Amino acid sequence: MEIINFLINSIEVIIYVYLSVAAVYFLFFAFMGIFPYRRKNHPAPSIRKMAVLIPGYKEDIVILEVAEASLKQSYPSASFDVVIVADSFKPETVQALKKLPLKVVEVVFEKSTKSKSLNAAMEAIGDSYDVAVVLDADNIIAYDFLEKINQAFESGFEAVQGHRMAKNMNNSMAVLDSISEEINNHIFRKGHRVAGLASGLIGSGMAFEYGMFKKRMLAIEAIGGFDKELELTMLRDGIKIEYLDDAVVLDEKVQDKVVFENQRKRWLAAQFIYFRRFVWAGIVQFVTRFNIDFLDKVYQMVMPPRILLLGVVTIITAVMGLLSLINITWISETLALNFMDWFVIWTTVVLAFVFSVQRKFYTRQTLMAVLTLPMGFWLMFTLLFKLKGANKTFIHTQHGVITNGKK
Q: At what angle do helices 226-236 and 210-217 cross, to 10 degrees?
A: 120
Comparing 108 with 330, the larger pLDDT belongs to 108
Comparing 292 with 329, the larger pLDDT belongs to 292
Residue type, 296: D
Q: How many helices (H) and strands (E) does the chain have?
A: 16, 8
Mean pLDDT of 152-167: 93
CATH for the 50-253 domain, from 1.10.287.3510, 3.40.190.10, 3.90.550.10, 2.60.40.10:
3.90.550.10
pLDDT of residue 361: 83
Distance CA 196, CA 146 (A): 24
3-state secondary structure of 341: helix
CB 242 within 8 A of CB 160: yes
pLDDT of residue 407: 42
3-state secondary structure of 79: helix
Mean pLDDT taken over the chain: 87
Query: Which residue in 72, 69, 102, 106 sits closest to 86, CA to CA?
Result: 106
pLDDT score of 143 more than 90 = yes
3-state secondary structure of 55: strand
Q: Are strands 206-209 and 159-166 parallel, antiparallel or unpaired?
A: antiparallel
**Plot region of 389 (φ>0 → left; ψ -120 to 50 → alpha; else → beta):** left
Domain boundaries, the chain: 2-34+304-383, 50-253
Band the pLDDT of 404: cuts 50, 70, 90: very low
Distance CA 117, CA 102 (A): 17
pLDDT score of 263 more than 80 = no
Confidence (pTM): 0.88
pLDDT of residue 391: 58
Distance between terminal CA atoms of the chain? 61
Distance CA 217, CA 119 (A): 7
pLDDT (tens digit, 9 = 90+) per residue, 385-397? Answer: 666 655 555 555 6
3-state secondary structure of 357: coil
